[in-house]
Amino acid sequence: MSLRSPLARARGHGSAKDGVGHWWHHRVTSVALVPLLLWLAFSIAALAGASFEEARAWLASPVVAVFAILTLAVTFYHFKLGLDVVIEDYVYGKGAKTASLMIAGFICTLLGAATIFAVLKVSLGG
């Protein structure tokens, strides 16, 4: 039986400074997504059978557009946080991990920006 601390084995394996912040952001976005996604689901259900012009008029409301953009932004940020955890846990090799994290961040940002642009374009009548 060894009396050494289990922490002694962890030395030299990187810092654990930002794990709590990452975990906290993931939980906060989870909580924020509950009412946002419920709002979105009920709104889409209420629009069932509506024409494109009726949907555009609905999305043209400033409150609706802001909630839609907020839902998209929080969703893609939450997705990126979760994807980072998966990559950090299952991608081995420092270069591959760094490249995967960068690519995932770029793709999440690109998709988030594209969907927000689409909401703005439809809501502003473009």
| pLDDT one-digit tens code per residue, 71-118 | 999 999 999 999 999 999 999 999 999 999 999 999 999 999 999 999
Task: Write phi, then psi, for 90 (nearest 5 degrees).
Answer: -120, -5
Q: How confident is the model at residue 19 (pLDDT cuts 50, 70, 90)?
A: confident
Which pLDDT does position 21 carry in this prediction? 86
pLDDT at 50 over 70: yes
Tokens of 126: 């473009």
The 10 Å CB-count burial string (b at 16+, else e) for 44-61 is: eeeeeeeeeeeeeebbee
Q: How confident is the model at residue 13 (pLDDT cuts 50, 70, 90)?
A: low
Distance (Å) of CA 67 to CA 22, 73, 95: 24, 10, 38
Distance (Å) of CA 49 to CA 54, 55, 100, 117: 10, 10, 41, 24
43: CB partners within 8 A, 6+ apart: 58, 64
**Averaged pLDDT of the chain:** 89
pLDDT at 66 over 80: yes
Rounded to the nearest 10 degrees, the angle between the axes of helix 62-90 and helix 94-123 is 170
Gap between the Cα atoms of 108 and 22, Å rounded: 16
Which pLDDT does position 63 carry in this prediction? 95
Q: What is the distance of C-alpha 119 from the center of its chain?
A: 17
Task: Write phi, then psi, for 26 (nearest 5 degrees).
Answer: -65, -40
Distance in angstroms between the alpha carbons of the first and the last residue of the chain: 72
The predicted model scores a pTM of: 0.81
